Amino acid sequence: MLEWLEISPELTLVATATRAFRHVPQAFGVDPFRAPMLGAGAPETTHWLLAGAIAEAGRAFHGWRTGTSSRTQENEPVSPSAPHWAYRLAGYFHTTDATRRLLPLVARRFAASGRRALASWAEQKISEEAGHDQLALRDLSELGYRARELASALVPARAAAWVALFEQLAQADDPAGCVGYAHALERLALLRGPAEVSAIEQGLPQGVNATRCLRVHSALGSDPRHVRSNVLATAASSADERRAIVSACHSAARIYFDPAFDDDLDLRRIEARVLAFQEHARPVTLSRGNPNPIQVTK
């Protein structure tokens, strides 16, 4: 059993039941992977094809990371300052709010085209994700910010790109790609575990619970189960639908890995923008990246 997807004329992803790998199509003659994927899917191969699409996006921007070499200092969890975390929470708000806005449209479109299994997947997602758009706002409020105002004013570049992609997929002739978008975000969320949550909490004022949104969208939340349901929904889809799903998954993963969307590198500027929305006095430690860390009370 094999599944595959042409990423470009020079690269095809191929998945077996135990791995995914890159295949460079032969320029001439017979190469079975030059033709679009045919036939039914299976959970094992679909799992690896989706995993391969995400990993290939990472490889494209950051090269190979294999075995123990992945545990570089670059990959160690970092503790953002509270204002920096607030900026990132604004990103969480925008992507989760897009889920609330767009999933009902996607469900209706699947149902209208008679695709009951995909409609059921979307309906299940609507139920599972209900209220999650409020989590980032609650975290922002907990940090002492005017949450709704801050989230309306600040749109991190990566979140904006994800929302734009989701809107495009939801309105496409075939919205099947939305499954791949959801899978990419939920699978990537699983890469955040207790170490990442702990690192972020260390940068926040003591006693402040502002990691509700992160915990839900991490390996500590319900995303492991959601990822499994995405794989099963994809595997049960037609070959054309699976190609659309895995392609969208790859596109969403590229946004995650693309350093062009790292718009929070200028922490001084980010923190200044965020602090304008502070509602009540709460001591804030600014980022370690600043030459002279200072306590600010507004």
Residue the block writes with tokens 């602090």: 275
What φ, ψ does residue 21 adopt, rounded to 5°? -145, 165
Q: Which amino acid is at 138?
A: R
Among 115, 132, 243, 250, which residue interacts with another protein (rule: CB under 8 A)?
132
The yes or no reply on residue 13 touching another protein (CB under 8 A) is yes
The yes or no reply on residue 19 touching another protein (CB under 8 A) is yes
Contact of 249 with 180, CB cutoff 8 Å:
yes
- Cβ proximity to another protein: between 14 and 119 the closer is 14
Q: How many CB atoms lie within 10 A of CB 64?
A: 9
Near another protein by CB under 8 A, which window of 90-98, 104-112, 232-240, 289-297? Answer: 90-98
Q: Shortest gap between Cβ of 169 and another protein (angstroms)?
A: 13
What φ, ψ does residue 202 adopt, rounded to 5°? -65, -25
- Cβ proximity to another protein: between 55 and 286 the closer is 55
Q: Shortest gap between Cβ of 153 and another protein (angstroms)?
A: 18
Distance CA(80)–CA(286), nearest Å, equals 9
Q: Which of residues 23-82 bind another protein (CB under 8 A)?
A: 23, 26-33, 51-52, 54-56, 58-59, 61-62, 64-67, 69-70, 74-78
Tokens of 278: 């502070």
DSSP state of 156: -
Among 110, 121, 145, 256, which residue interacts with another protein (rule: CB under 8 A)?
256
- Cβ proximity to another protein: between 77 and 205 the closer is 77
The yes or no reply on residue 92 touching another protein (CB under 8 A) is yes
Q: Shortest gap between Cβ of 69 and another protein (angstroms)?
A: 8
Which residue blocks in 4-81 are alpha helix, DSSP H?
A: 43-62
- For residue 201, give the H/E element and its range: helix 194-202
Q: SS3 of 157, please? A: helix
- Cβ proximity to another protein: between 199 and 238 the closer is 199
Question: Cα 227 vs. chain centroid, distance in angstroms?
Answer: 12
Q: Shortest gap between Cβ of 114 and another protein (angstroms)?
A: 25
Q: Which of residues 195-214 bind another protein (CB under 8 A)?
A: 196, 213-214
Q: Which of residues 211-250 bind another protein (CB under 8 A)?
A: 213-214, 217, 223, 226
Among 1, 21, 209, 225, which residue interacts with another protein (rule: CB under 8 A)?
21
Contact of 140 with 86, CB cutoff 8 Å:
yes
Q: Among positive and negative, which fits the CA dihedral 82, 87, 88, 93?
A: positive
Near another protein by CB under 8 A, which window of 92-100, 105-113, 238-246, 275-283? Answer: 92-100
Binding-site residue total for another protein (CB under 8 A)? 71
Contact of 271 with 279, CB cutoff 8 Å:
no
Tokens of 248: 């969208």
- Cβ proximity to another protein: between 79 and 238 the closer is 79
